[in-house]
């Protein structure tokens, strides 16, 4: 078990443990020492989204890195995948993204990348936590690290994402609504799309430190969907706070999730001979309708635990080049090592241009099965009780064949997440409500 790390780095309420200046400085020291190997000058790249607490987290972490002799390069507000890319490009020893992703501004977090721009394994995270229990090794004054700010970080990332497309590609004639969630993509996403010729209608691009993800972005996409209809746009794009995930709206304002986008990419790449292993990797949360669609096309779907880093690990281990989650974390390993919302958006817009059909036809390739999600504010430790498994087994029997049930602790919030799907929405919804009722009763019994 890890004390600080969850499914995607460290996350919590800003200025509360473990995201206090004291603990963050110690974390910076522990993380820095873990990645300081060899006798060269060691460097860490630090990026962040637009949260007010980002200044505090950045300063505390930087103090820790510098105190153990590591140089720090800050890039300011940039998407998470940009930090991964710049870490690789600079041959840095470590990359750090300060973000709580889709959470509201009160929370913050830390995502870490190794020198290859890959997210850390569970084992490395455990080793870092073990270092926190020991005394830090502080260097003498001549060996302290230095700090610089990379003024050209945005330009580096702009050229990187544009480089994923053939040079003749342009989006002239496309009207695109872009919701940046007042987050990390608020500058770079509209810039890239305009440079590629699209008519851009940007929304939620005025961060004030407290409005990130507030009723907007990938987790609250209705604003984007409505704006597409109002503006008579061809497509809508909505990023989350750190822009490593993306969802879309078709020209009718209908929401398009990550499963549909992965289906589009898998189909298009398979037709062009680009899809490796004749399949893709996703998590237990992807829809059964998606899986059936791929099977009918002779393609496979491999499932992992929830979390894009687990998807990325499976892709590397087994040689797949497409993977992701229905939430919009999608990894195209031919170009990037982690989910990249902007890069994904460019691929989707390219498909729209090539197919010359409305988004509602290009981006809706299968009919999803009814899927019910419920987040319950109960202690995740409840799932370890034998009585909980009895509840779930009873629910599985009621659901029957051609259905799935996934109950798991949240890796980012103190919640239990429930997902059930089946052929008919009514019975599935009733079963989820029954699980919530039974878990709540079990929690009350445990407290008593």
Distance set, CA 184 to CA 27, 212, 233, 237 (Å): 23, 9, 23, 14
Catalytic residue among 53, 101, 338, 403: 101
In whole angstroms, give the CA distance from residue 41 to residue 180: 36
286 catalytic? Reply is no
In whole angstroms, give the CA distance from residue 316 to residue 99: 25
The answer for 271, left when phi > 0, alpha when psi is -120 to 50, beta otherwise, is: alpha
In whole angstroms, give the CA distance from residue 72 to residue 89: 15
In whole angstroms, give the CA distance from residue 432 to residue 339: 30
Residue 439's CB is within 10 A of a number of other CB atoms, namely 22
Longest dimension (CA), the chain: 68
Q: Counting beta carbons within 10 angstroms of the beta carbon of residue 86, is it exposed (0 to 12), middle (13 to 18) or buried (19 or more)? A: buried
Distance set, CA 205 to CA 3, 115, 354, 414 (Å): 35, 31, 29, 30
In whole angstroms, give the CA distance from residue 35 to residue 19: 21
Report the chain's terminal Cα–Cα distance, integer Å: 26
Q: Counting beta carbons within 10 angstroms of the beta carbon of residue 169, is it exposed (0 to 12), middle (13 to 18) or buried (19 or more)? A: middle
Whether the CB-CB separation of 301 and 294 falls below 8 Å is answered with: yes
Whether the upstream peptide bond of residue 18 has omega within 30° of 0, thus cis, is yes
Whether the CB-CB separation of 353 and 168 falls below 8 Å is answered with: no
Residues with catalytic function: 101
């Amino acid at each position: 078990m890890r004390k600080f790390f969850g499914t995607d780095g460290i996350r919590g309420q800003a200025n509360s443990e473990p995201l206090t200046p004291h603990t963050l400085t110690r974390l910076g020291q522990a993380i820095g020492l873990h990645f300081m190997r060899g006798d060269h000058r060691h460097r860490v790249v630090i990026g962040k989204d637009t949260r007010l607490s980002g200044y505090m987290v950045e300063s505390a972490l930087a103090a820790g890195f510098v105190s153990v002799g590591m140089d720090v390069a800050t890039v300011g507000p940039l998407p998470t995948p940009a930090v991964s890319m710049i870490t690789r490009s600079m041959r840095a020893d470590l990359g750090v993204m300060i973000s709580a992703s889709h959470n509201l501004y009160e929370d913050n977090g830390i995502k870490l990348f190794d020198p290859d721009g890959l997210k850390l394994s569970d084992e490395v995270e455990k080793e870092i936590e073990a270092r926190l229990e020991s005394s830090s090794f502080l260097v003498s004054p001549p060996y302290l690290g230095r700090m610089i700010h990379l003024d050209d970080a945005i330009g580096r990332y702009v050229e990187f994402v544009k480089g994923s497309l053939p040079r003749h590609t342009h989006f002239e004639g496309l009207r695109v609504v872009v919701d940046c969630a007042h987050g990390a993509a608020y500058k770079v996403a509209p810039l890239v799309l305009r440079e590629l010729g699209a008519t851009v209608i940007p929304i939620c691009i005025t961060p004030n430190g407290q409005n990130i993800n507030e009723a907007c972005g990938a987790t609250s996409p209705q604003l984007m969907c409505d704006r597409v209809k109002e503006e008579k746009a061809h497509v809508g794009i909505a990023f989350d706070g750190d822009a490593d995930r993306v969802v879309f709206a078709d020209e009718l304002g209908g929401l398009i999730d990550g499963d549909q986008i992965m289906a589009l990419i898998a189909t298009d790449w398979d037709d062009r001979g680009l899809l490796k292993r004749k399949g893709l990797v996703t998590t237990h949360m992807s829809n059964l309708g998606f899986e059936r669609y791929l099977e009918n096309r002779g393609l496979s779907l491999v499932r992992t635990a929830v979390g894009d880093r687990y998807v990325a690990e499976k892709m590397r281990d087994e040689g797949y080049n497409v993977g992701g989650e229905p939430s919009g974390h999608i990894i195209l390993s031919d170009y990037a090592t982690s989910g990249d919302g902007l890069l994904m958006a460019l691929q989707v817009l390219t498909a729209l241009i090539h197919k010359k059909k409305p988004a509602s036809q290009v981006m809706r390739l299968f009919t999803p099965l009814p899927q019910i999600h419920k987040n319950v504010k109960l202690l995740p430790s409840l799932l370890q009780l034998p009585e909980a498994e009895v509840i779930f087994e009873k629910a599985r029997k009621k659901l029957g064949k051609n259905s799935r049930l996934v109950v798991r602790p949240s890796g980012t919030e103190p919640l239990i997440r429930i997902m059930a799907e089946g052929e008919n929405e009514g019975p599935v919804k009733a079963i989820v409500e029954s699980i919530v009722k039974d878990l709540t009763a079990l929690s009350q019994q445990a407290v008593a």
